[in-house]
Amino acid sequence: MADQRTYPHGVPCWVDTEQPDGGDASRFYAALFGWRFEDAVPPGVPGSYLIATLDGHDVAAVAPGAERPARWSTYIACDDADRTAETVAAAGGTVLAPPEDAGPGGRAATCADPDGAVFRLWQARRRLGAQLVNVPSTWNFSDLHSADPERALLFYAAVFGWDTELHSGSGMVRLPGYGEHLASTVDPDIYERQAGAPPGFADVVAGVVTDDHPGWEVRFTVADRDGSVATAEQHGAVVLSSADTMWTREAVIRDPQGAELTLSQFTPPG
């Protein structure tokens, strides 16, 4: 089994949050999730990029000094950032910031789909992406909010090879072959564990939600939604909504500097 989690072209691989004050943001997320932070930018080099770790594994990052409102961003893995940026433009999207090296970690670009939902490309080098996911206090999933999901998925299919057929009732999309990648690397038991899931479930890479306000929503797994909400409020966050589904207990919060995220507790039936 591979020691490190890798992400094929087309799989969301990383999340970070741009924040006006990196110190305040890191203290909030340390309190909420128990994260530790280290600056990926060497001493004496301008700028800062705070890698969040949990149990020694990279899980997310805080990018201080943002002039725009704070927000969470989703990065999608690509084999070649320059070539993929060209494909984004050819498919009707917009390249907001052209590809550039992010130190030795990789190469990144900022893009928007035809509806204006902003995402980032990540061509990994030294930093492969999130190394711990789907456990409490880590990134669980990113959902695309789109006014026209079917049209949006045609764009993502052209750029990343996503399956354009939405799973009935679930709003999830697949990258064919991703389950096989997981089975051969970090999750050899995935098919046995998901034996009762719909066909192709192991290939799911993202969710899609119909929404007149396009964007990418980031959700994090928590062990106790209500306890995490109380901690978030204690440290200055605002709760925007909460809901119970068949499988989860969720809350959307706004952190003290304005970035929105979803806290999700897994509560399967029975």
Rounded distance between C-alpha atoms, residue 169 and residue 150, angstroms: 14
Q: What is the three-state SS of 1-55?
A: CCCCCCCCCCCEEEEEEEECCHHHHHHHHHHHHCCEEEECCCCCCCCCCEEEEEC
Contact status, residue 214 vs residue 147, Cβ threshold 8 Å: yes
Asked if the structure places residue 165 within a domain, the reply is yes
Asked if the structure places residue 28 within a domain, the reply is yes
Asked if the structure places residue 4 within a domain, the reply is no
Q: What is the pLDDT of residue 169?
A: 46
Q: What is the pTM of this model?
A: 0.96
pLDDT (tens digit, 0 to 9) for every residue of the chain, 270 residues total? 357 999 999 999 999 999 999 999 999 999 999 999 999 998 888 889 999 999 999 999 999 987 778 999 999 999 999 999 999 999 999 999 999 999 899 999 999 999 999 999 999 999 999 999 999 999 999 999 999 998 999 999 999 999 976 654 468 899 999 999 999 999 999 999 988 888 888 999 999 999 999 999 999 999 999 999 999 999 999 999 999 998 899 999 999 999 999 999 999 887
Domain range spanning residue 157? Answer: 12-266
Asked if the structure places residue 52 within a domain, the reply is yes
Which amino acid is present at 186? V
CATH code for the domain in which residue 17 is found: 3.10.180.10
Determine phi and psi for 240, rounding to 5 degrees.
-95, -35
Which residues are paired to 15 by β-bridges? 74
The count of structural domains within the chain is 1
Q: What is the pLDDT of residue 170?
A: 60
* Sheet hosting strand 248-254, strand order edge to edge: 172-174, 204-210, 138-146, 215-221, 260-266, 248-254, 238-244
